[in-house]
A and B are shown apart, each in its own frame.
Chain A
C-alpha cells in the first residue's frame, strides 16, 4: 500500500534562516506531488506541484522553492525565511485519477 512521510512534524526557525522540508512517498511510481500551505484559519493554498523528476510548477510567487530530485521525493526550501512563511505545510500525492492523499504536515513557526 502507498504511504507518505513528511518531516519534521514541527519546526521553529529564526527569520533569515534557511528551510528544508522533505516529503517522500512509498508504494507508487511517478506520482504527482504537491506542496500546500495552510495559514492560520482554514484555507489551503497550493504552492507547488510536480508531475515528474525535475518538473516543478509554481502556483504563486513567493520566498519558497521546490525540488524533486527523485521520483518519490519532494522538497520545499527557502534560502531566507520570512515571518510570513509561518504556517502548516502539507505534502500530497496522487496517481492517475486517484484522490489526493496528504501527509501529516509540518508546523513551521518563524520567529
Chain B
C-alpha cells in the first residue's frame, strides 16, 4: 500500500523558522495536504498543494514539493508558541484515497 513518512518530533525556538518534512511513495498523488492537530482537537487543514505545483505560500506558511523525490515540506516562518501542535502530512492518490503520515510533534520553546 501507499506510505507517508514523517519524523516524529521537532523542537524550535520561538521566532525561528520550522521545517517539517514528509516523504511519500504514491507516484500518482494528485493533492498533498498539511493538517494541524492541537491537543484534544480534530485535524485542521492548514494548506494543500496540487501535485503539478512546486511551491505554495500562504502568509507564514510555505509548502515545497519535489515530485521527483516525492518529498514535501512545510516551513513555518517566525514560529510562535501557538504553533505547537502535531502536524500531519497527507496525500490523495490515484484512487482518491487519502493516506496520512504519523504526524510530527512541533515543540516551540519560548
Q: A42-B86, A97-B31 are in contact. Are A103 and B102 (CB under 8 A)?
A: no
| Majority-rule SS of B interface residues | strand
- Cβ of A100 within 8 Å of any chain B Cβ, yes or no, is yes
CA distance A92 to B45 in the complex (A): 11
For A90, A92, A100, A107, which residue has the most chain B Cβ atoms within 10 angstroms? A100
The answer to whether A104 has its CB under 8 Å from any CB of chain B is: yes
Cβ–Cβ contact B31 & A102, under 8 A: no
Chain A positions 6-43 with a Cβ under 8 Å from a chain B Cβ? 6, 41-43
Given contacts A90-B43, A102-B42, A104-B41, is CB(A44)–CB(B31) below 8 Å?
Answer: no
Q: Which residues of B contact A99 (CB under 8 A)?
A: 31, 33, 45, 48
Contact A104 B42 (CB under 8 A): yes
Chain A 82-98: CB-based contact to B (< 8 A → 1; otherwise 0): 00000000101000010
The answer to whether B41 and A44 have CB atoms under 8 Å apart is no
The one of A42, A43, A105 in contact with B42, judged by C-beta atoms closer than 8 angstroms, is A105
Which residues of B approach A to under 8 Å, CB–CB?
Answer: 8, 30-31, 33, 35, 40-45, 48, 86, 88, 90, 98, 100, 102-103, 105
* Chain A residues close to B by CB (< 8 Å): 6, 41-44, 90, 92, 97, 99-105, 107
